[in-house]
Amino acid sequence: MNLKIDKALIKKYLAGLCNKEELKLVRDFLKQENAQQLFDEVWNEQWVNETNANDTDHHSQQMADWKRKIHQRINEESLNSEITVAKNTPIPFIKRITNWQYAAIWATLFIGAGLWVITSKRSNESLVVAYVEKHNPSGRRTIITLPDSSQVYLGPESKLRYAEKFNGSTREINLEGEAFFEVTKNPKKPFIIHTGIITTKVLGTSFKVDAFINKSVTVSVSTGKVSVDRHATNKTESIAILMPGQTVTWNETDHIKTLGSVVVKDISGWKDGRLVFNKVPLSEIANILERWYDVEISFKNKKTLQSC
């Protein structure tokens, strides 16, 4: 029997109906880079039209049940399956869910990618909340159209995560890195960007956010009005309300905010690939150019790194 990986086999695997030969084929497929894409397509085609994301409490409970069932299934397989590697040495498919590499693969495919799938014993209906995650490596920029038609200009070494459909009363996304946003106006559904414990909230405007890990968060407004808040220990703290040409930088380590002004066209020009530096240390300029063009910059004279 000639077997091949296709959507029908993936569906069979998820239903727990694969034989030993099919199981091995799917497990080998999970090691490949395009595995997530095929799984995503299967989930979306079969269940995305049945999604109802309004009951968030029910989703949380069902999500917990889903993760428990996935972990239980993987552990059950670990007791009954083994893979033979070089020199005919048998090793368990999964030693423990907490430390085996396939646990990370499952998390990426079904949890990290946001495909929350819930199965119910009482019926054959399934409920899905599907998320999309975009990631740019060094030297790459992309334009992303969100479900509400908002445009995101995602910078190099940056990651964006958002729901396939903006259900409920808000439009919420997660950003790690830098991006310029052109948000479709909708007063009834605020647009909220999460960058760690900092949120940027708008109704419809254009602005830029810099939020790399372990660095200060900076928000610069091109058009409209933006509020920036900090959320920690069940408390919300207002950092700033910005108008066009205004910018704020929040340093979480020192709890210091810095307000400033910037030329509006310099903010919007970023999305077109125009970089403007004003009183920026040479070391930081080098970091930005390395990220944008995927190159390595070195200095013979280290004293010049802090010069502007």
Q: What is the tens place of the pLDDT at every residue in 35-53?
A: 666 666 666 555 444 444 4
Q: Which region among 69-83, 86-100, 178-192 has the lowest average model confidence (pLDDT)?
A: 86-100
What is the per-residue burial (b if ≥16 Cβ within 10 Å, else e) of 233-266?
A: eeeeeebbebebbbbbbbeeeeeeeeeeebebeb
DSSP state of 125: -
* Beta-carbon contacts of residue 296 (< 8 Å; ≥ 6 apart): 290
Structure tokens at 228: 């920036």
**First and final CA of the chain: distance in angstroms?**
68
Q: Is the pTM of this model over 0.85?
A: no
What is the per-residue burial (b if ≥16 Cβ within 10 Å, else e) of 124-135?
A: eebbbbbbbeee
Q: Is the pLDDT of residue 108 over 80?
A: no
